[in-house]
């Protein structure tokens, strides 16, 4: 645990990356606001600097005047407001998670905002657990939508789901090479392809590197996906497409991000731990991870960062 002597040193140390666990149905904006508010609350509770003094020259001007040092009331926290307010913090997210997605969320605080931008452009891989349910299709592809159709799913077996999922993964291999920005039949492309999976050059198309069914208990199933450039709605449609290819229907019941680059769920701070001490410890651990993995922020090659 970190103990801070006063608020000013604590505020200066709050620069860097933070890894939090975003609950589902809470937007990123709200997470940012809660964290900022909690930080301000904890900083304002720490020992404050002494009140500023001000020089006053008083007395009649035609006689020797008196110079006094008096406390400056304009500096009093009751007059000029709390020392730290939400607007003092800059906060940005690394990879956007939708409203209904829960899981690992990387936030940059103050100078860490630069890091989140670099992480975003480095296109780090994300791993998701996607929970789905067979037998029902909805208009939004998610549980909150209107039911569009109901089907039987007795014929779906673990083998069938595995083969469809393997097929989906293979189909994405091509997109991966297309998004590298090189000519498909060139020597450079060949050399790049021999190194293993490659990062996309831009963020236009979602790329899936691995997809696997980790839990199957009809009608419920869970997929584990490693991908880049994906977004919430895209993951929902994956489940829907899976349902169609299995000759039944399916909708998504939950999306959970379990890993972003080297930052996994174990590191993430739960909502009840969004407090100054925990945040400071978490920032240190994130900094260590970034130092251990230099390629994470500014990668030198087109090879994929796992």
Partner 1 sequence: MALGYHIKHNVILYLYLRFSNQLRTYTYNSVSISNENKRIRNLTNQEDAIINSCVEDLSTVAPYFPKSFNLAAYTNGSETLQKLIKLNVDLSKIEKKPHVAEKLLQLDINSNMNGHILFLSDFVKMENMGIFITKNPMIFYQNIDDLKVRVNYLMSKRFSDEQIKYIIWKNPFWLMFSTVRIDRRLGYFQEKFKLTGEEIRNLASKKPSLITYNLKHVLCNLFIIKEEMGFQDHEMKHLIMNKPKLWMINDKALLQRFDYIHNVMNISHARILKEPEILLCRNFRIKQRHLFLQNRGRAQYDPLKENFIPLKALFEGTDTEFCKKYAKCNATDFNDFLKTL
Which residues lie near partner 1 (CB under 8 A)? 8, 11, 21, 23-24, 54, 58-63, 72-85, 87-88, 102, 256, 265-266, 268, 270-272
Please report how close the Cβ of residue 261 comes to partner 1 at its closest, in angstroms.
17
C-beta closer to partner 1: residue 198 or 225: 225
- Phi first, then psi, for residue 124 (nearest 5°) are -70, 150
Cα separation values, 240 from 202, 215, 258, 283, Å = 26, 17, 21, 38
Helix ranges, 21-60 (H): 28-45
Q: Which of 109, 127, 104, 125 is nearest to 24 (CA)?
A: 104
Please report how close the Cβ of residue 108 comes to partner 1 at its closest, in angstroms.
18
C-beta closer to partner 1: residue 190 or 215: 215
Please report how close the Cβ of residue 24 comes to partner 1 at its closest, in angstroms.
7
Strands 250-260 and 101-109: parallel
Please report how close the Cβ of residue 256 comes to partner 1 at its closest, in angstroms.
7
As a whole number of Å, the end-to-end CA separation of the chain is 30
Please report how close the Cβ of residue 9 comes to partner 1 at its closest, in angstroms.
12
Contact 156, 221 (CB under 8 A): no
Q: 256 forms bridges with which residues in the sheet?
A: 102, 129
C-beta closer to partner 1: residue 213 or 258: 258
CB atoms within 10 A of CB 137: 20
Cα separation values, 214 from 3, 56, 218, Å = 42, 74, 13
Please report how close the Cβ of residue 26 comes to partner 1 at its closest, in angstroms.
8
C-beta closer to partner 1: residue 50 or 60: 60
Q: Give the three-state DSSP class for 4.
A: coil
Q: Is the peptide bond before 92 cis (omega within 30 degrees of 0)?
A: no
C-beta closer to partner 1: residue 204 or 272: 272
C-beta closer to partner 1: residue 21 or 216: 21
């Amino acid at each position: 645990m970190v103990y801070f002597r006063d608020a000013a040193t604590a505020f200066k140390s709050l620069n860097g990356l933070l890894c939090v666990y975003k609950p589902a149905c809470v937007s990123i904006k709200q997470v940012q606001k809660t964290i900022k508010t909690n930080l301000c609350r904890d900083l304002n509770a720490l020992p404050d600097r002494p009140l500023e003094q001000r020089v006053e020259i008083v007395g009649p001007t035609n006689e020797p005047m008196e110079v006094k040092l008096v406390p400056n009331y304009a500096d009093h926290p009751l007059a000029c407001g709390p020392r730290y307010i939400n607007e003092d913090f800059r906060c940005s997210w690394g990879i956007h998670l939708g409203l209904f997605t829960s899981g690992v969320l990387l936030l940059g605080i103050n100078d860490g905002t630069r890091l989140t931008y670099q992480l975003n452009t480095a296109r780090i891989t994300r791993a998701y657990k996607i929970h789905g349910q067979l037998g029902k299709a909805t208009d939004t592809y998610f549980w909150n939508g209107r039911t569009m159709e109901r089907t039987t799913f007795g014929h779906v077996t673990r083998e069938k789901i595995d083969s469809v999922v393997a097929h989906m993964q293979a189909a994405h291999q091509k997109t991966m090479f297309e998004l590298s920005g090189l000519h498909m039949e060139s020597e450079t492309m060949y050399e790049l392809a021999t190194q293993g999976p490659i990062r996309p050059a831009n963020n236009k198309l979602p790329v899936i590197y691995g997809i696997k069914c980790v839990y199957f208990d009809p009608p419920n199933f869970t997929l584990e996906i490693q991908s880049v450039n994906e977004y919430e709605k895209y993951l929902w449609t994956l489940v829907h497409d899976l349902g169609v290819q299995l000759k039944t229907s399916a909708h998504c019941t939950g999306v959970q991000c379990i890993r972003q680059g080297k930052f996994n769920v174990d590191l993430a701070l739960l909502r009840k731990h969004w407090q100054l001490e925990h945040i400071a410890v978490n920032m240190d651990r994130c900094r260590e991870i970034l130092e251990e993995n230099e390629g994470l922020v500014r990668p030198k090659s087109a090879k994929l960062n796992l």
